[in-house]
Amino acid sequence: MLVVVIGNVIGCALFGLFCIMGHRTGVNQMVLSRAAFGRRGAYLPATAQMLMTMGWLGVNTWVVLDLCLGIFKEMGYDHPRTGTKYAVGIVIMAVMSVLAWTKADVAWTHSTVHGRDKLTSITQLMTAIGVGWGITWLTWSSDYTRFIRPGTSERKVFWSTSLGIFIPTVWLAFVGASVASVATDADPATLVTAAFGAASIPVLFLIMHGPVATNILNLFSASLAALSLDIKAKRWMVSVVVSIVGTVMLIVFIESDNFAADFDKWLASVVVWISAWGGVMLVDYFILRRGKIDVRALYTDPRGSIYGDVNWAAVTAVLAGLVAGWAREYGLVSFMQGPIAKATNNVDLSWLTGLLVAGVGYYLLRPFFVKHGEPQPVITT
């Protein structure tokens, strides 16, 4: 629980900083990448973002499917009407928390690892659902905070977005860890039904709502990423293609023998590239440009944009961050188990290594690649 709290304090704070970018500029995250990577150099992170949203569609849909099957198994009926969603949702979450800590025989002090192995477990957990969880939201952040009313204080933007992801994440992580500590099966539906019994029905419906709602955001951000790639297609067409690829990912997870392991593999791979990209973005926006972006220049022709066509300093730094992050990563996939991680008892510091190497590398390389002047202060109207 301490790892989850500390990790999410860091990860959610980073998320809050990226949300400020969108609020200041009114620009979505992948278009903002053009300031650091160049007008067409930003195609690299935009492509990764679009592919990632397709993967999340598969992940989230599998969770919904699995929970539906859990409900069918328990009660034999489906899709009951829920009434007032917010009121019912809050009540269910409160009841779920009480049951998790009273009905389930939570193992508060039990630990299967000690010494160096415990440190290894802590770092791997920190990467997966500690710092890593907040980091996985960075590429979406400005897609939504760009709609915040101009004049809203940046302090309010930072704290509302950071706490908005921190509080529910930590709360539900506590509940999940409590339930999992006495479970013998990693299947989400089995975990819930084993801990809550008859009360699992409303709990399952509540959990189902999250992935469905998140998939709406994935479709939206995927279409924004496509526009950032200068793809001339209607938004609904992009959404159809994204949905098809997401369905393919769903089939992959359905055919999997161990969803929990495959999900961990997916999350670990996402954290590494976002950390490297995030390191470049943080240094470019907050340190080098000090929050000053010429918004109009983000949309001009690559040959005439003050941000240039491809900023090789950013591209090189991200690639270096990816390699460094991989070297310190210990994922469940064999080829994602880096040599340094293996040599240090599988300690996983991929998120920190990728972020620092890419960020510092970009700071040092940029003067050799970027010759033009700095843009004018941000334009938000």
Nearest in space to 230 (alpha carbons), one of 11, 18, 50 = 50
The Cα–Cα gap between 26 and 193 comes to: 44
Query: Which tokens is 226 given?
Result: 């496509």
Least confident of 53-67, 76-90, 115-129, 251-265: 76-90
| pLDDT exceeds cutoff 90 at 120 | no
CA dihedral of residues 199, 201, 207, 208 (deg, nearest 10): 180
pTM (predicted TM-score)? 0.71
Alpha helices by DSSP H, 76-233 = 85-102, 116-125, 131-135, 141-145, 154-180, 188-196, 200-228
The Cα–Cα gap between 174 and 137 comes to: 20
pLDDT of residue 224: 79
| Best-predicted range by mean pLDDT (90-104, 237-251, 260-274, 287-301) | 287-301
* Domain formed by 2-369, architecture: Orthogonal Bundle (1.10)
| 16: three-class secondary structure by DSSP | helix
pLDDT in tens, 192-247: 777 666 666 676 666 666 666 677 777 777 777 888 888 777 777 777 787 777 77
The Cα–Cα gap between 129 and 142 comes to: 21
> With contact defined as beta carbons under 8 Å apart, do 341 and 328 qualify?
yes
In angstroms, how far is CA 324 from the centroid of its own chain? 20
108 φ, ψ (degrees, to nearest 5): -75, -30
Q: How far is CA 352 from CA 121, 124, 279, 327, 328, in A?
A: 16, 12, 9, 12, 9
Reported as a pLDDT band with limits 50, 70 and 90, residue 381 is very low
pLDDT of residue 360: 96
Overall size of the chain counted in residues: 381
Pick the more confident residue, 232 or 287: 287
pLDDT in tens, 51-82: 777 777 766 666 666 666 666 666 554 444 44
pLDDT in tens, 354-363: 999 999 999 9
pLDDT of residue 86: 46
